[in-house]
Structure 1
Amino acid sequence: MSSTPTGTAPTGNTKPALTGAKIKQRKGVVKSQAKFEPEVFRDALYKHLEGISPEDWDAFATALDKAGNTLEYRKYADPLFEILIVGGILAPGGAFVDDGAPPSPFSIAGAKSDKLEDVKPFVDVLEKLIRRYKFLQRPLEESTLNGILQYVNRYEVEQRNKLAVATALMIQQGLASASVLSTLQKDHLAKDDLAISFIDLVFRTYLVDQTMDHLASSLRKGGVRNWLLFFPQTKRDQPNIVASHFRSAEVGLPQVAEYWQKRQQKDIRDQTVARLGEMVSSDEDAASIPEVVEFLQAQMKSAGVGPEDFVPFIWEGLMKAVDWSVRQDQLEGAVLKELKKDCPILEPFCSSARAQISLINSIQLFCYADTRVIKSFPKILQTLYNGDVISDDAILYWAQKGAKAQGKAHFLKACEPLIRFLQEDDDDEDEE
């Protein structure tokens, strides 16, 4: 006679169930469902850090490494970094949790001063910790650091400066993305020059050991493009405010000002070329010449450059309007036709000799780079001369000592008839 197991036999769609069996939950499930107690975590962490000499950095790094074996760093990542950066757990609003706990034995806020040499050892300890527990990097740059920076207006000046130096080092060492700086672009932080003062110190610290190109790359990867938002709203409309700020004697970061100007000019160049090509196209909706000139004058003002630097942008934009799909034997005619139409656009920006030479050199480089129109160079110059855009003096100066090195011999040879004509015309005027 066979024995029957204890339990309920399945009937229909009912699943079998064992009675009296206790299923044990996995450790991960138990941990995730456990009560969130950051204060308990803090007190346990303090025990690992107590008794270590204030500047024994290796001992702090070892203690934090060891604490990770028993404390739940993954669950308490935010409180962990708040303790190690500002010295305690932050409550909503940026104040410390008020439960009578002392400041952390180890924190960037507890550094002797805001000097680089006093802050860097703390960041180096954080780097060792993150290298050991790689999962900590993501919450640091996506959560904790943003949360700390959004309350930077609540800190004393020295504490704020320590945080700025530490932030620069964390970005430089790859512990956090420069995207954390976008938090400072909120209006309540930008007012009273608080945000831009913080950024000044971040940039200055970063550039101690790295180049401006390296800093620019970090900012670009972090999506920090509009630096105007670090300034108070009342200052954002001031002409060239970013470059003039960083170039000032008080800030003393001319390399930052130079980079910003070059970047602005590149952005404005791209905008000008694209928009101008659309405005002067042969479509019926093409803009009027006064409208085009007004647009270009506004762009030149925004770029903060003179006509001699802006004329190459105009030339490139005008060439966008040429129909480059025509046959090779018709291309020269298409280019000259476009130029005859556009001489009134170029003329207001070519009133000086420097601007005219700049335009000629832009055309030289353009024809040198595109062999389809390399033979058209003399006729292009003649068209612009007839359209009162460039003068005979500008062409003669270019031929004598102003030409670019690229294809110089070829272009001078091709322009000999035009140059000879202009020289003879000059001589006739002198005799009269």
Structure 2
Amino acid sequence: MSHTPNTSTPAPAGNVQSTSQAAVKPSLAGVRVRQRKGQAKATAKFEPETFRDALLLHLSLIPSPPTVDSAVAKLVQAGATLELLKYSEQLFELLFVGGLLQPGGSYLDDKRSPIYVLQDAAEGWDPVRGMVETLKLVMQRYKYLQKPLEENFLPDILGYLSKWDDVSKDKLAQAVALLVLDVQVSSRCLASLTKDHVVKDNVGLFFFTSFAKAYLSKQSVEHLGATLRRSGLRDIALLFPIQIRDKKHIEDHFKQAGLPQVVEWYGKMALAETKDETISSIERMLGDEETNEQIIEQLNAQQAEKPVPASDLTDWIWQGLVRTVDFSAKAEQAEQFLVQLITTRAPIIEAFVKGAKAEVGLINAVQVYCYADTRMLKAFPQIIKVLYNTDCISDQAIIYWHQKGAKPQGKQHFLKVTEALVKFLEEQDSDEE
């Protein structure tokens, strides 16, 4: 077999590497590499006016007078081609105030939507109710719109209230109330009403009053109260300018506005808040071993600032006292501690238990407390004796309580264990006569 010599010369290793590096990937002529959709959106220009013009083209096809169905149909159609989420702020500006806004709340130009909340009513079309119903149906279709509405747009637009006249503020307030009630939009936007420039000149107060009227036309004041607690609006007093931020001005305003239920509700809320503060304050002062005189002085200062009925204050003092009882001890020890505590701290009670109503209320507070904690059942007559001997309650108060003033909780038991005391007091009264 003949051998043919290999005459080819092997290429240097370096040349192989450079050839592979220089290799070009094959491509088809005339084919363009497309950007991913998400990347295209991220790098796209932000053009609110272009979006506005495109949306107005859709809305211009709504017949006159508009209907909820026709408005929803055009907005859903627009959502198929326009980026509603990216331009949600501009979308809501058009649907609420009719045009694009500049920073500060002024209109950008004179282009207006054919349908929006603040427009004048037309025959067969209520812009407030119509737009709320439209928004409800559109957001059922595009659920991602609710979050920017309640977290961004509504809090911001309420910061611009001073830009609108009273008629516009009233319409906006009605719309927000209906959105909260019917569309389950968060009420957190109401916290914007306490900003200084909104509180100024009663702007926020005017809005809230209109909001409350619209809300209470469909729901109870208790339901409104629950909504306000969730809103972050801690106290409606914050809606009033600081120079008139007091109970009298609050009551006068809502009575004149025809909202007496708000006055009653606010009174209860304010009383409950004062109650919690008072009970906690008494518990803290007792824990710090402050003297009776120091505690009385502080309670007098509180009464001067936030006066409450003597019967309420007496009940709160009692609740503050019993909070310091050590219930980890045996029943007999806890009972002895309570009796000793009342004996030592009786001057605090005596300083504020003014009038027969407060005295009977104090006995009932003791009754309810002993009924709720059965370990203190036996202590009831002894506690009443201590309160009588320290001039916290009178014989007439005890007799009245025994005859017709006792609470229903364990009534027969407490009447029975105090029979001897009541008989003694009645005989004493007869001897004096």
Q: Same fold (TM over 0.5)?
A: yes
Question: Within 5 Å, which residues of 2 pair with 1:255-270?
Answer: 255-270=261-276
User: What whole-Å deviation, never above 9, does each CA across 1:69-104 have from its counterpart, x for those lacking one?
Assistant: 011101100000000000011111111113xx4211
1:198 Cα offset (Å): 0.9
Contact map agreement 1:300 1:307 (CA 8 A) in 2: no
Instruction: Please name the residue that 1:364 is paired with.
Output: 367
Contact map agreement 1:87 1:109 (CA 8 A) in 2: yes
- Counterpart of 1:328, as a letter, is A
Q: Structure 1 residue 225 and structure 2 residue 231: aligned?
A: no
Contact map agreement 2:98 2:115 (CA 8 A) in 1: yes
Question: Within 5 Å, which residues of 2 pair with 1:194-343?
Answer: 194-236=203-245, 238-246=246-254, 248=255, 250-281=256-287, 285-300=288-303, 304-343=307-346
Secondary structure (helix, strand or coil) at the match of 2:377 reads helix
Q: Structure 1 residue 184 and structure 2 residue 187: aligned?
A: no
Q: Structure 1 residue 347 and structure 2 residue 375: aligned?
A: no
Using the size of structure 2 for normalisation, the TM-score is 0.90
Contact map agreement 1:7 1:18 (CA 8 A) in 2: no
1:303 Cα offset (Å): 5.1
Which of 28, 32, 38 is the equivalent residue of 1:28? 38
Which of 405, 408, 412 is the equivalent residue of 2:411? 408
- Counterpart of 1:129, as a letter, is V
User: What whole-Å deviation, never above 9, does each CA across 1:346-383 have from its counterpart, x for those lacking one?
Assistant: 01211201110110111111111110101111110000
Identity %: 41
1:17 Cα offset (Å): 8.3
Distance 2:241 2:26 in 1: 70
Distance 1:341 1:181 in 2: 48
1:294 Cα offset (Å): 2.6
Contact map agreement 1:78 1:139 (CA 8 A) in 2: yes
Which of 1 and 2 has greater Rg? 2
Secondary structure (helix, strand or coil) at the match of 2:118 reads helix
User: What whole-Å deviation, never above 9, does each CA across 1:266-300 have from its counterpart, x for those lacking one?
Assistant: 2221221122112123xxx4222222123223444
Contact map agreement 1:300 1:306 (CA 8 A) in 2: no
Distance 2:249 2:420 in 1: 49
Unaligned runs of 5+ in 2: 1-15
1:146 Cα offset (Å): 1.7
Instruction: Please name the residue that 2:3 is paired with.
Output: none
With over 3 angstroms needed to count, the CA separation of the structure-2 counterparts of 1:349 and 1:33, relative to structure 1, is same
Using the size of structure 1 for normalisation, the TM-score is 0.90
- Counterpart of 2:313, as a letter, is F
Distance 1:329 1:30 in 2: 78
Distance 2:192 2:170 in 1: 16
Cα RMSD over matched residues? Answer: 2.3
Contact map agreement 2:118 2:127 (CA 8 A) in 1: no
1:304 Cα offset (Å): 4.5
Which of 173, 179, 194 is the equivalent residue of 2:182? 173
User: What whole-Å deviation, never above 9, does each CA across 1:121-160 have from its counterpart, x for those lacking one?
Assistant: 1111011111110000011111111221111101122111
1:193 Cα offset (Å): 1.4
Instruction: Please name the residue that 1:78 is paired with.
Output: 89
Q: Structure 1 residue 68 and structure 2 residue 79: aligned?
A: yes
Distance 1:73 1:118 in 2: 21
1:19 Cα offset (Å): 7.6
Secondary structure (helix, strand or coil) at the match of 1:177 reads coil
1:36 Cα offset (Å): 0.6
- Counterpart of 2:343, as a letter, is K
